[in-house]
């Protein structure tokens, strides 16, 4: 994701999300072609409290795009580098604001 200010303070429900996919190899072949991307939307968000409580973002991806076609998918986030993700796909904040 190339959005430096993406956080629970800057997004609203339904905002679109676009992530460019990097090369991932499975069985010696690229899983996605160059230029592939995933698109989706923010399904839920909550700002962290001032003194207690954690914020979160729930991002749902519903489309993988390639140079030749778009494919509808049903996905949820299972990991985010540097953050905890719960079983429902909510990305939990560490401190005052969530930024991915």
Domain ranges in the chain are: 16-92
Which runs of E-coded beta strand occur in 13-82? Answer: 16-20, 25-26, 29-30, 37-46, 56-65, 70-72
- pLDDT at site 52: 66
pTM: 0.67
**What is the predicted pLDDT for the residue at 63?**
93
CB-count burial class (<10 Å; 0-12, 13-18, 19+) for 8: buried
Q: Please report the pLDDT score of residue 2 as a whole number.
A: 66
Question: Residue 72 has what pLDDT?
Answer: 92
Q: What is the pLDDT along the chain (100 residues), one digit of tens a residue?
A: 667 677 777 888 888 888 888 877 788 888 888 889 999 998 888 777 666 667 777 888 899 998 889 999 888 778 777 778 888 777 776 654 444 4
| Amino acid 99: pLDDT | 45
């Amino acid at each position: 994701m190339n959005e430096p200010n993406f956080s629970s303070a800057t997004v609203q429900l339904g905002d679109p999300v676009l992530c460019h996919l990097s090369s991932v190899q499975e069985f010696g072949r690229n899983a996605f072609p160059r230029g592939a991307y995933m698109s989706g939307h923010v399904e839920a968000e909550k700002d962290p409290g001032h003194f207690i409580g954690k914020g979160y973002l729930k991002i749902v991806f519903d489309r993988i795009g390639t140079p030749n076609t778009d494919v509808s998918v049903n996905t949820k986030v299972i990991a985010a580098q540097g953050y905890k993700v719960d079983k429902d796909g909510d990305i939990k904040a560490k401190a005052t604001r969530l930024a991915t």
